[in-house]
Amino acid sequence: TDRAQNPTGAAVSAARAAELRAVLARHPRTLLIEDDHGHGIVSLPLHPLAGSVPHWAFVRSTAKAYGPDLRLAVFTGDALTTDRVRGRQRLGPGWVSHLLQHTVTELWRSGAVDPAAVARSYGARREAL
């Protein structure tokens, strides 16, 4: 998790991301999976590590920013990792609700949810702790 780490809300800085990329460069057989579940709820900048190794996946989920009923994630990655995830998806549920996909797409496209306001609200709650 690059940002919004549990339980403190910590984030990977640009300097720390550079250090982590250097470590990953020494371990090219590592499968890197980044879960940006903080997307849409934090205002901190993202410093992704994706692409630092040959095999990687970058995942963004919607449940935190848009509510638990909208459990959907999008991901990208290198070709081999992406193909493997697609294969596993076929063995499991096989599909994701088209209604859910269209709903989330419309929320992203329309601007009906203000990500900056959501991030401020989460930030205020985090600071209150």
Q: How far is CA 67 from the centre of its chain?
A: 15
Q: Is the pLDDT of residue 54 over 90?
A: yes
Read off the pLDDT of residues 70-113 as tens digits, 9 standing for 90 and up: 888 889 999 999 999 988 887 776 778 889 889 888 988 998 88
Read off the pLDDT of residues 7-28 as tens digits, 9 standing for 90 and up: 777 889 999 999 999 999 999 9
Domains of the chain: 14-128 (3.40.640.10)
- pTM of the complete model beyond 0.75: yes
- The DSSP code sequence of 76-129 is EE-HHHHHHHHHHHHHTT----HHHHHHHHHHHHHT-S-HHHHHHHHHHHHHH-
pLDDT at 112: 84
Indicate if the alpha-carbon torsion angle 14, 15, 18, 19 is positive or negative. Answer: negative
pLDDT at 107: 85
